[in-house]
Amino acid sequence: MPPRRTKKLFGRIFFCFGLGMFVLIIAFPLYWMILTSLKTSAEIYTRTPTFFPRTLYLGHYVDIVKEGLPVYYKNSLIVATSATGFSILIAILAAYSLSHFRYKGRQALSQMILFVYLFPAAVLFIPLLIVVNFLGLTDTLSSLILVHPVFGVPFATWLLAGYFSTIPRELEEAARVDGCGRIGALFRVILPVALPGVVTAAVYCFLLSWNELLYAFTFISTESKKTASMWLSERILGDVYLWGELMAGAVLMLIPILTMYLLGQKYIIQGLTAGAVKE
Amino acid sequence: MKVGIEERKLGVILILPVLFYVMGIILFPFFMNIWLSFQKKRIGMPAEFIGLGNYVYWLRNPDFFKVLKNTLIYTFVAIALKFVLGLGGALLLNRDFWGRNFFRGFFLIPWILPTVVTCFTWRWLYDDLVGIFNFFLAQIGVGPIPWLSSSSLALGSVIAVNVWRGFPFFGILLLAGLQSIPAQSYEAAKIDGANTFQCFLYVTLPALRSIAMIAILLSTIWTFNDFEIVYLLTRGGPGYDSMILVPFVYEIGIRGQHIGRAITFPVLVFPLLVGLILITSRAVLRKR
């Protein structure tokens, strides 16, 4: 065999091996989680674990739902959708302003938003608790709706400003000649073109709110107002772990996120690299 | 002329909501944080000014240095591993092969998973008695290893989970960087007689420098301020052996109710953090 072909073959084997390793590293924990949620408790706690489902047991899902997951799930949905809607709305307006208007201090504002995006909200949770108490929002879902956009707003503004600025001014001006106002131009011309950016920003905001734990832990104490991630987390901080139920809960937490990701995947990867890398 | 003024007004009005929000929810609490660090304050009690009391308390407390050291180890080790794994993944995904788009989407999954889900799954994988890692080790006659409850292993085990969650982020950014390298660069290097490794060293790596810089800086800020992974896997234990900044502040401030004391800890690392943020934003702006 000529050396060139040997080299190529080695390259191929090396490549397949590498890809296989990555797939294994990523997929195994997920597979194990889903598999565990579908095993009976007896099968979960055997000394020799089974790697393929013997039966598909849905009892853990029934149990976790009976124990009240739907209540917390609903709370999470309320918080995440409200926080996302709020974030996207104000971010769209700000991004439009930063990308298509000229006024003094615009550059400085744009940099401040980037700075804030980089500022970790994790170090602010105690002063924010005091702010929330002061506003009379102690122990309410509203407190989370108010605070969750802290992660999403600067990111969404930054990402959307980048997207909007690639849309030529002439397009916007043409719309205005046709009788749209500036706001009309935003909704009829800019937003449809920048849809991938809007989808990415919305999914990202939703994801952050859906996952968020620290603020929920800090602000919420009433049982019926807990979010799903908080309620499930508290079950793992106790002493007895019902792994089947916990994994069933984890799978249920995952479903909305995975659905959104699969639907918007193309946009999201594009949007993420665009937001962080270039305009 | 009048149109110009109207336009300016509208521009400012549109940005006001974000501006107010950012001021109220980020900048105001930031300064409040600094002010509170000079107070002795517990939840539900009036504050009492004690000057530098909280600072003296921490600087004399060995826990402070332990948590700081853990946070730095957590950050640097995790970033290094995420970078290496992310680069490896990006190089693989940059090749042309069947199903590449599918694998690209698949690759990002750990990063989009809810952290709670990730933590549950890993805690189950790490379980002392029936966890799958210890089962595999038992097959080769080792163990069982107490991954999360041994003082020498706990920090490493939580770092592994952080790496698992975060390497796709590096991978996707670096992949975007790889795709922007023109094919001519490689052809020119090949003509000059460079082999694959030399191409990587002298063409790929230098071209990735600015994007790698951004990924590293962004990830440093986030990793440094991580809460969920440590809190849900070990709660900083055993003792404070795997404790890092944010879960520590939570334990002292919310569970221990020493608000003033807790808040002083982040204030002590603010200069570091703000420096880091300034460097990062300069890097991002230059790229843009």
Instruction: Please tell me what DSSP assigns to residue A181.
Output: -
Cβ–Cβ under 8 Å, residues A159 and A113:
no
B82 against A177, higher pLDDT:
B82
Comparing CB atoms, the residue among A19, A249, A269 nearest residue B108 is A269
| Chain A positions in Cβ-Cβ contact with residue B212 (cut-off 8 Å) | none
| Chain B positions in Cβ-Cβ contact with residue A93 (cut-off 8 Å) | 14-15, 17-18
According to the 3-state scheme, what is the secondary structure of chain B? CHHHHHHHHHHHHHHHHHHHHHHHHHHHHHHHHHHHCCEECECCCCCEECCCHHHHHHHCCHHHHHHHHHHHHHHHHHHHHHHHHHHHHHHHHCCCCCCHHHHHHHHCHHHHCCHHHHHHHHHHHHCCCCCHHHHHHHHCCCCCCCCCCCCCCHHHHHHHHHHHHHHHHHHHHHHHHHHCCCHHHHHHHHHCCCCHHHHHHHHHHHHHHHHHHHHHHHHHHHHHCCCHHHHHHCCCCCCCCCCCHHHHHHHHHHHCCEHHHHHHHHHHHHHHHHHHHHHHHHHHHHHC
| Chain B positions in Cβ-Cβ contact with residue A119 (cut-off 8 Å) | 26, 30, 277
Interface contact A134, partner B, CB < 8 A: no
The whole-number pLDDT of residue A272 equals 67
The residue written with tokens 């407390």 in the block is B61
HSE, CB side, 13 Å, CA atoms: give it for residue A158.
Answer: 26
**Hey, are the CB atoms on B15 and A26 less than 8 Å from each other?**
no
Q: What number does CATH give the domain A68-277?
A: 1.10.3720.10
Give the pLDDT mean for A188-204.
85
Give B246: exposed, middle or buried? Use CB within 10 Å, 0-12, 13-18, 19+: buried
Cβ–Cβ under 8 Å, residues B71 and B245:
yes
Q: List, in sequence order, every residue forming a beta bridge with B70; answer none if it has no partner.
A: none
Residue B41 falls inside a structural domain: no
If contacts are CB pairs under 8 Å, which of residues 32-91 in chain A contact chain B? 32-33, 36, 44-49, 90-91
Do residues B5 and B129 both lie within one domain? Answer: no
Do residues B8 and B151 both lie within one domain? Answer: no
Q: Is the dihedral of CA A213, B123, B252, B240 positive or negative?
A: negative
Comparing CB atoms, the residue among B26, B214, B227 nearest residue A124 is B26
Shortest Cα distance, chain B CAs vs residue A55, angstroms? 19
Interface contact B125, partner A, CB < 8 A: yes
SS3 A9: helix
Comparing CB atoms, the residue among A116, A118, A229 nearest residue B221 is A118
Comparing CB atoms, the residue among A127, A182, A237 nearest residue B36 is A127
Burial call A23-36: b when 16+ CB within 10 Å, e when fewer? eeebeebbebbbbb
Interface contact B89, partner A, CB < 8 A: yes
Do residues B27 and B169 both lie within one domain? Answer: no
Tokens representing residue B123 in the block: 């805690």
Shortest Cα distance, chain A CAs vs residue B89, angstroms? 7
- What is the chain B residue with the closest CA to A205? B112
The whole-number pLDDT of residue B1 equals 38
Interface contact B115, partner A, CB < 8 A: yes
Residue B255 falls inside a structural domain: yes
Q: Which of A159, A169, A189 is nearest to A267 (CA)?
A: A159
The whole-number pLDDT of residue A90 equals 92
The whole-number pLDDT of residue A78 equals 94
pLDDT class of A278 with cuts at 50, 70, 90: very low
Do residues B59 and B26 both lie within one domain? Answer: no
Do residues B24 and B63 both lie within one domain? Answer: no
Do residues B4 and B76 both lie within one domain? Answer: no
Cα A30 to Cα A250, B117, B158, B216, distances in angstroms: 10, 9, 17, 26
pLDDT digits (tens, 9 = 90+) for A217-268: 989 988 889 999 999 888 887 666 788 888 999 999 999 988 888 888 777 7
> Domain span at residue B168?
52-287
SS3 A56: coil
- pLDDT over 70 percentage in chain A: 95
Shortest Cα distance, chain B CAs vs residue A100, angstroms? 8
**Which residue type, as a one-letter code, is found at position A112?**
M
Instruction: Provide the domain count of chain B.
Output: 2
**A127 φ, ψ (degrees, to nearest 5):** -60, -35
Q: List, in sequence order, every residue forming a beta bridge with B48; answer none if it has no partner.
A: B40
Domain boundaries, chain A: 68-277
Do residues B59 and B5 both lie within one domain? Answer: no
Cβ–Cβ under 8 Å, residues A155 and A92:
no
| Chain A positions in Cβ-Cβ contact with residue B266 (cut-off 8 Å) | 123
Torsion of CA A255, A257, A260, A265, to 10 degrees: -120
Cβ–Cβ under 8 Å, residues B122 and B164:
yes
A166 against A209, higher pLDDT:
A209
Q: Is the pLDDT of residue A276 over 60?
A: no
Give B230: exposed, middle or buried? Use CB within 10 Å, 0-12, 13-18, 19+: buried
Residue B43 falls inside a structural domain: no
Shortest Cα distance, chain A CAs vs residue B287, angstroms? 7
Do residues B131 and B249 both lie within one domain? Answer: yes
What is this structure's pTM?
Answer: 0.89
The whole-number pLDDT of residue A21 equals 92
Q: Is the pLDDT of residue A173 over 90?
A: no
Interface contact B73, partner A, CB < 8 A: no
Cβ–Cβ under 8 Å, residues B170 and B215:
yes
The whole-number pLDDT of residue B73 equals 94
Do residues B156 and B219 both lie within one domain? Answer: yes
**Which residue type, as a one-letter code, is found at position B41?**
K
If contacts are CB pairs under 8 Å, which of residues 216-275 in chain A contact chain B? 217-218, 229, 232-233, 236-237, 241, 243, 246-247, 249-250, 253-254, 257-258, 261-262, 265, 268-269, 272-273
Shortest Cα distance, chain B CAs vs residue A169, angstroms? 14
Per-residue pLDDT of chain B (288 residues; tens, 9 = 90+): 345 667 778 888 888 888 888 888 888 888 888 888 888 877 777 777 887 888 888 888 898 999 999 999 999 999 999 999 999 999 999 888 888 888 888 888 998 888 889 998 999 899 888 888 888 888 888 878 888 888 889 999 999 999 999 999 899 889 888 888 888 888 888 888 888 888 888 888 888 888 888 888 888 888 988 898 999 999 887 889 999 999 999 998 888 888 888 888 888 888 888 888 888 778 777 765
Cβ–Cβ under 8 Å, residues B209 and B287:
no
Interface contact B263, partner A, CB < 8 A: yes
Interface contact B256, partner A, CB < 8 A: no
First to last CA, chain A: 48
- Helix boundaries (H) for chain A: 3-37, 41-44, 59-66, 69-100, 106-118, 125-134, 141-147, 149-165, 169-177, 182-185, 191-193, 195-211, 214-219, 228-237, 243-277
| Chain A positions in Cβ-Cβ contact with residue B47 (cut-off 8 Å) | none
Q: Is the pLDDT of residue A178 over 90?
A: no
pLDDT class of A279 with cuts at 50, 70, 90: very low
Rg of chain A on CA atoms, in Å: 24
| Chain A positions in Cβ-Cβ contact with residue B177 (cut-off 8 Å) | 277
**Hey, are the CB atoms on B281 and A115 less than 8 Å from each other?**
yes
Comparing CB atoms, the residue among A29, A46, A103 nearest residue B121 is A29
Residue B45 falls inside a structural domain: no
Residue B12 falls inside a structural domain: yes
pLDDT class of A2 with cuts at 50, 70, 90: low
- What is the chain A residue with the closest CA to B91? A15
Q: The CATH number of the domain where B272 resides is what?
A: 1.10.3720.10
Burial call A228-249: b when 16+ CB within 10 Å, e when fewer? bbbbbbebbeeeeebbbbbbbb
Do residues B23 and B73 both lie within one domain? Answer: no
Neighbours of A63 (CB within 10 A): 16
Residue B250 falls inside a structural domain: yes
Do residues B117 and B29 both lie within one domain? Answer: no
Interface contact A22, partner B, CB < 8 A: yes
Burial call B255-273: b when 16+ CB within 10 Å, e when fewer? eeebbbbbbbbbbbbeeeb
Tokens representing residue B249 in the block: 């502040």
The whole-number pLDDT of residue B8 equals 78
- What is the chain A residue with the closest CA to B8? A103
The whole-number pLDDT of residue B162 equals 95
Most confident stretch, A12-16, A26-30, B50-54: A26-30
Instruction: Please tell me what DSSP assigns to residue A139.
Output: T
If contacts are CB pairs under 8 Å, which of residues 216-255 in chain B contact chain A? 218, 221-222, 224-228, 231-232, 235, 245-246, 249-250, 253-254
| Chain A positions in Cβ-Cβ contact with residue B218 (cut-off 8 Å) | 118, 276
Q: Is the pLDDT of residue A277 over 50?
A: no
If contacts are CB pairs under 8 Å, which of residues 33-62 in chain B contact chain A? 33, 36
Question: ipTM more than 0.90?
Answer: no
Give B152: exposed, middle or buried? Use CB within 10 Å, 0-12, 13-18, 19+: exposed
The residue written with tokens 């602010």 in the block is A124
Chain B interface disruption, residue of A124, A148, A259, A272, most B CBs within 10 A: A124
